[in-house]
A and B are shown apart, each in its own frame.
Chain A
Amino acid sequence: MQALTFEQLTKTYKNGVQALKGIDLAVEEGDFFALLGPNGAGKTTAIGIVTSLVNKTSGKVRVFGHDIDTELAVAKSCIGLVPQEINFNQFETVTTILLNQAGFYGIPRQLAAQRLEKYLTALQLWEKRNAVSRTLSGGMKRRLMIARALMHEPRLLILDEPTAGVDIEVRRTMWTFMRDINAAGTTIILTTHYLEEAENLCRHVAIIDKGRIIENDRMSRVLRKLQTEVFVFNLRNPISAPPVLPGYAVSMPDDHSLEIEVSKDQSLNDIFSRLSASGMEVLSMRNKTNRLEELFMRLVNQKEAAHG
Chain B
Amino acid sequence: MDNAVDRSSLAAAVKEPALLKTNIVGFNTIVIREFSRIIRIWGQTIVPPAITATLYFIIFGSLIGGRIGDMGGYTYIQYIAPGLIMMSVITNSYGNVVSSFFGAKFGKHIEELLVSPLPSWLIVAGYVVGGMVRGIIVGGVVTAITLIFTHMKIHSITVVLSAVLLSSIVFALAGMINAIFAKNFDQISFIPTFVLTPLTYLGGVFYTIKLLPGWAQGISHGNPILYMVNAFRYGFLGVSDVNVGLAYTIMIGAAVVLYIACVWLLHRGVGTRE
Residues of chain A whose beta carbon lies under 8 Å from any beta carbon of chain B: 1, 13, 48, 51-55, 64, 72-74, 76-79, 81, 83, 85-91, 96, 99-101, 103-108, 148, 152, 155
Determine the distance from Cα of A96 to Cα of B29 in the docked complex, in whole angstroms: 10
From B14-22, B54-62, B189-197, B208-216, give the one contacting chain A: B14-22
B119 at the interface (CB under 8 A from A): yes
B250 at the interface (CB under 8 A from A): no
- Measured CB to CB, the nearest residue on chain A to B123 is A104
B-side contacts of A72, CB under 8 Å:
117
A-side contacts of B273, CB under 8 Å:
52-55
- Residue among A55, A77, A85, A91 with max Cβ neighbours from chain B (10 Å): A77
Residues 73-131 of B at the A interface (beta carbon under 8 Å) = 104, 107-109, 111-119
- Measured CB to CB, the nearest residue on chain B to A148 is B112
Q: Is the CB of A106 within 8 A of B21?
A: yes
**B43 CB → nearest A CB, Å:** 14
Q: Is the CB of B119 within 8 A of A104?
A: no
Asked whether A77 and B22 contact (CB < 8 A) given A52-B115, A53-B111, A55-B274, the answer is yes
Partner pick for A64 among B12, B17, B108, CB 8 A cutoff: B12
B-side contacts of A64, CB under 8 Å:
12
**A48 CB → nearest B CB, Å:** 7
Q: Is the CB of B115 within 8 A of A107?
A: no
Partner pick for B274 among A54, A86, A152, CB 8 A cutoff: A54
Asked whether A104 and B12 contact (CB < 8 A) given A52-B273, A87-B108, the answer is no
Determine the distance from Cα of A148 to Cα of B274 in the docked complex, in whole angstroms: 23
Partner pick for A77 among B36, B104, B109, B117, CB 8 A cutoff: B117
Q: Is the CB of B269 within 8 A of A87?
A: no
Residues 236-274 of B at the A interface (beta carbon under 8 Å) = 269, 273-274
Determine the distance from Cα of A85 to Cα of B17 in the docked complex, in whole angstroms: 28
Determine the distance from Cα of A226 to Cα of B112 in the docked complex, in whole angstroms: 40
Partner pick for B115 among A51, A74, A108, CB 8 A cutoff: A51
B-side contacts of A148, CB under 8 Å:
112
B26 at the interface (CB under 8 A from A): yes
Q: Is the CB of A100 within 8 A of B33?
A: yes
Determine the distance from Cα of A55 to Cα of B272 in the docked complex, in whole angstroms: 10
**B5 CB → nearest A CB, Å:** 8
Determine the distance from Cα of A155 to Cα of B8 in the docked complex, in whole angstroms: 13
Q: Is the CB of B107 within 8 A of A90?
A: yes
B28 at the interface (CB under 8 A from A): yes
Determine the distance from Cα of A148 to Cα of B8 in the docked complex, in whole angstroms: 26
**A153 CB → nearest B CB, Å:** 8
- Measured CB to CB, the nearest residue on chain B to A45 is B274
Beyond the given pairs A53-B114, A55-B269, A104-B30, 14 more chain A to chain B contacts, judged by CB atoms under 8 angstroms and listed by A's residue number, are A1-B9, A13-B274, A48-B274, A52-B273, A64-B12, A72-B117, A74-B16, A74-B117, A96-B36, A99-B29, A100-B29, A104-B112, A104-B117, A105-B26
B-side contacts of A89, CB under 8 Å:
104, 107, 109
A-side contacts of B115, CB under 8 Å:
51-53, 76, 79, 81
B-side contacts of A77, CB under 8 Å:
16-17, 19, 22, 117
A-side contacts of B26, CB under 8 Å:
103-106
- Measured CB to CB, the nearest residue on chain B to A81 is B115
Determine the distance from Cα of A87 to Cα of B117 in the docked complex, in whole angstroms: 18
- Measured CB to CB, the nearest residue on chain A to B40 is A91
B23 at the interface (CB under 8 A from A): yes
A-side contacts of B9, CB under 8 Å:
1
Determine the distance from Cα of A86 to Cα of B111 in the docked complex, in whole angstroms: 11
B161 at the interface (CB under 8 A from A): no
Q: Is the CB of A103 within 8 A of B28?
A: yes
Q: Is the CB of B114 within 8 A of A52?
A: yes
- Measured CB to CB, the nearest residue on chain A to B27 is A103
Asked whether A83 and B111 contact (CB < 8 A) given A76-B117, A106-B21, the answer is yes
Q: Is the CB of B12 within 8 A of A1?
A: yes
A-side contacts of B16, CB under 8 Å:
74, 77-78
Q: 21 A–B contact pairs at CB < 8 A?
A: A1-B5, A51-B114, A53-B115, A55-B273, A55-B274, A64-B12, A74-B117, A76-B115, A76-B117, A77-B17, A77-B22, A78-B16, A81-B115, A88-B109, A96-B36, A100-B29, A104-B112, A104-B113, A106-B18, A106-B19, A107-B17
Partner pick for A85 among B12, B108, B119, B274, CB 8 A cutoff: B108
A-side contacts of B17, CB under 8 Å:
77, 105-107, 152
Determine the distance from Cα of A148 to Cα of B109 in the docked complex, in whole angstroms: 12
Q: Is the CB of B8 within 8 A of A106?
A: no
B25 at the interface (CB under 8 A from A): yes
- Measured CB to CB, the nearest residue on chain B to A74 is B16
**B4 CB → nearest A CB, Å:** 11
Q: Is the CB of B107 within 8 A of A105?
A: no
Determine the distance from Cα of A103 to Cα of B113 in the docked complex, in whole angstroms: 10
Q: Is the CB of A74 within 8 A of B19?
A: yes
Determine the distance from Cα of A119 to Cα of B68 in the docked complex, in whole angstroms: 66
Determine the distance from Cα of A154 to Cα of B115 in the docked complex, in whole angstroms: 12
Determine the distance from Cα of A108 to Cα of B18 in the docked complex, in whole angstroms: 12
B-side contacts of A86, CB under 8 Å:
108
- Residue among B17, B29, B104 with max Cβ neighbours from chain A (10 Å): B29
